[in-house]
Chain A
Amino acid sequence: GQQLNQSPQSMFIQEGEDVSMNCTSSSIFNTWLWYKQDPGEGPVLLIALYKAGELTSNGRLTAQFGITRKDSFLNISASIPSDVGIYFCAGLERGAQKLVFGQGTRLTINP
């Protein structure tokens, strides 16, 4: 099925570093959502974006809705050990209710 292109696929960083990841699509999306998934758990919603150009923060997390509506970005500042996990972007097309997900970015933090 259709999936978004998410990059990078994995990241290995030091605690305290900032993290950036992005998601691109060939289709236009009206809503972008970012989720985090821990092993054995379901995805947890982090940030929701509804307007092109929108910049939204949730604590140390900041996400942006690209102006072309075909991309989105997630930044994590000053990473901490509990940030470890898999981050997924997900998009909704106009009038649709089904989320289309990226392949995920696996974040590993070296102590």
Chain B
Amino acid sequence: GAGVSQTPSNKVTEKGKYVELRCDPISGHTALYWYRQSLGQGPEFLIYFQGTGAADDSGLPNDRFFAVRPEGSVSTLKIQRTERGDSAVYLCASSLRQGTYEQYFGPGTRLTVT
């Protein structure tokens, strides 16, 4: 389809392990966002890319979290030394360009840290 895609849809990992979550934005969208959604809550902002650069990473909770978008399209969210508190649904969204406000979300990756 033409929407935002995320892989994997589910990821179970052990505490202390490293994980990578991938996001493919809508074709032609230059802005990409990562959000985290805990059970029963609304999504919370993590990081925003305009093109290849992280324009705002103020939502990343600590330095175990890092995201890249090397070619301005696909993005990878990386979490080092995972903790049980990292368990959540990680959502990716894209919008046409900076200054447009309609963000379109992918289905999310459900991360469970055991």
Contact = CB atoms under 8 A, between A and B. Distances in A.
A1 B101 CA distance: 20
A1 B59 contact: yes
A31 interface: yes
A7 interface: no
B41 A103 contact: yes
B42 A42 contact: no
Measured as residues with beta carbon below 8 angstroms from the partner, the interface class of chain A is 20 to 34
A98 B59 contact: yes
Contact of A99 (B40, B45, B106, B107): B45
Contacts, number: 67
A33 B35 CA distance: 16
A43 B43 contact: yes
A7 B106 CA distance: 25
Contact of A48 (B4, B101, B105): B101
Contacts of B41: 3, 103-104
B63 interface: no
Contact of A45 (B40, B48, B102, B108): B102
Interface string B6-49: 00000000000000000000000001010100001111110010
Given A1-B45, A31-B101, A92-B101, A42 B91 contact: yes
Interface of A: 1, 3-4, 6, 31, 33, 35, 40-45, 48, 50, 88, 90, 92, 97-104
